[in-house]
Amino acid sequence: MTEAHTAAKTIGSALARAMSTDSPPPCERLPIEHREIAAPTTAEEARALREWAETQPKRWPPIETGQLARHLQFMTATLPAKNLDEDSGRKRVAVYSRILGGYSDHAIAHMALIACSTLEWFPTPSQCLEILAAYTDPPTPRDRALAACHGYAQRQFETFRAALKAGEGTAELLETVPDQWKRIAVEQGFLRWSRGGGFVIADRYRRAAKDDAAEAATEASEGQ
């Protein structure tokens, strides 16, 4: 048996003891709630989705020790390393766990795959950190849910803006939308500030003004 194979066997034994026997394979199970994120179609659905998102973690949780050990074992089975005795193998597991334990399961899985694809030897901690520095975790369920809520709000705003532009704005419509939308509409010329400090539809986009202008034009034409 070669020195590299002996080292791999020794580290593998230490890793096996570090893992629980029922640990899931890398990235199969994470301590975060998963759900299908469907784009909301109503304000009520958007509100419920946002409320759920606010209960979710802002980032992927740090990898569990057992999961990290599995990734290290994956690399050990592929990349040769220095010959280590059993005690040294356990110490290596402890050192790598301390250095890499703050990263997510996704990140460590990526690091292990890149290391096995590009390196000739089992990576040092600094090599692992170098790979991880170029990695970005995928969006969390919270991120995806909030993005879906933002998309719904953006679509509703565009519908509101289109109604104003088409001269279909009403006082009732203005009462149903957030003030932020109305302030943006003021900046874009669709609304203006009223003397009382509220919002009113700009004259050029008021249906009544357009109807009056059309009627005046018609009368002028008939009088000629």
pLDDT at 117 over 50: yes
pLDDT of residue 77: 87
Query: Strand 199-201 and strand 191-193: pairing?
Result: antiparallel
Which is nearest to 109 in space by CA: 127, 89, 142, 131? 131
What amino acid is encoded at 11 in this protein? I
DSSP for 31-57 reads: SS-----PPP-SHHHHHHHHHHHTTS-
How does DSSP classify residue 203?
Answer: G
176 falls in which pLDDT band (50, 70, 90)? very high
* Tens digit of each residue's pLDDT (9 = 90 or more) over 119-170: 999 999 999 999 999 999 999 999 999 999 999 999 999 999 999 999 898 8
Average pLDDT over residues 16-25: 42
